Amino acid sequence: MIKDITIGQYIPGDSFVHKLDPRLKILISIIYMVDLFLMKNFIGYGLIITFLIMVVFIADLKFKYIYKGLKPIFILLIFTALINIFMTKGGVLLFSWKFIKIYSEGVRIAIFMVIRLTLLIMGTSILTLTTSPIELTDGIEALLKPFKKIGLPAHELAMMMTIALRFIPTLMDETDKIMKAQKARGADFENGSLIERGKNLMPLLVPLFISSFRRADELSVAMESRCYRGGNGRTRMKQLKLCNKDYIAIITFTIFILVTLCTRLV
């Protein structure tokens, strides 16, 4: 399960999506998430699913990577669906037994929430799978640059966000190694009550925290040895500039957003 977490992973490629400006991909992802929560019917979600499938094919990504990113949240999806089914009232009464009542409105909202969360994870996974950590840092910093006028450390903030995102797969791999080592010593993380399994995680958390602090210290030493002193006066080998493929992506995505918004009127 731990190896199934794909957030922060990057798959090198030479596709149209890989070559897009990172600033544009970040903005598209933000607008995509907003549009996702504005949808009110299945027609809009159908268009979004079609759009995502096209992007996956254009980016030359394998669907197994997208599926692996969804596996860790299956329990969350089921829990969200059950909460909405049993707690939301309205519409036609579909089922009634003692104090349990299920309404059509609850089922509809539950389906919508599951679809939203699934498409949200899929969209963000495509962003990280097709954008390298360096490009993400440059893109976030460029987008935060206007806020420097009010004293916001754009470069430092972008660096921290990207490092945190990049180290998610590393820490997950470290967790998997520690779990295997503890299991070899007789630890049991799967059987017993919830409280017992929580207690069994203590031998896992302590070495994980120690490993995390060690990696952070090694990273700081590596950055200092390379004379890293923040964003002031730093230059880049690759300057971010919009080109023809970026304008094509802007036009295509704008048309897509307008079409999906029109489905709200249906």
Residue 253 confidence (pLDDT) = 92
Residue 237 confidence (pLDDT) = 67
Residue 140 confidence (pLDDT) = 81
100 three-state secondary structure: strand
Cα–Cα–Cα angle for 134, 140, 144, rounded to 5 degrees: 145
Give 219's Cβ-side CA count (13 Å radius). Answer: 13
Residue 1 confidence (pLDDT) = 47
* pTM, full prediction: 0.75
| DSSP bridge pairs for 114 | none
Residues 6+ apart with CB under 8 A from 192: 200
Q: What is the pLDDT along the chain (266 residues), one digit of tens a residue?
A: 445 555 667 788 888 988 898 889 999 999 999 988 888 888 888 899 999 999 989 988 887 777 777 777 778 888 888 888 888 887 778 878 877 788 888 888 888 888 888 888 888 888 888 888 778 878 887 887 787 777 777 777 777 777 777 777 777 777 778 777 777 777 666 666 667 666 767 777 778 788 888 888 888 888 878 777 666 666 666 777 888 999 999 999 999 999 998 887 76
CA distance 40 to 44: 7
Amino acid identity, residue 3?
K
Q: Is 191 exposed, middle or buried (0-12, 13-18, 19+ CB in 10 A)?
A: exposed
Residue 32 confidence (pLDDT) = 92
Residue 198 confidence (pLDDT) = 67
- Residue 145's closest CA among 131, 155, 156, 134? 155
CA distance 253 to 78: 31
Q: Is 34 exposed, middle or buried (0-12, 13-18, 19+ CB in 10 A)?
A: exposed
CA distance 202 to 208: 10
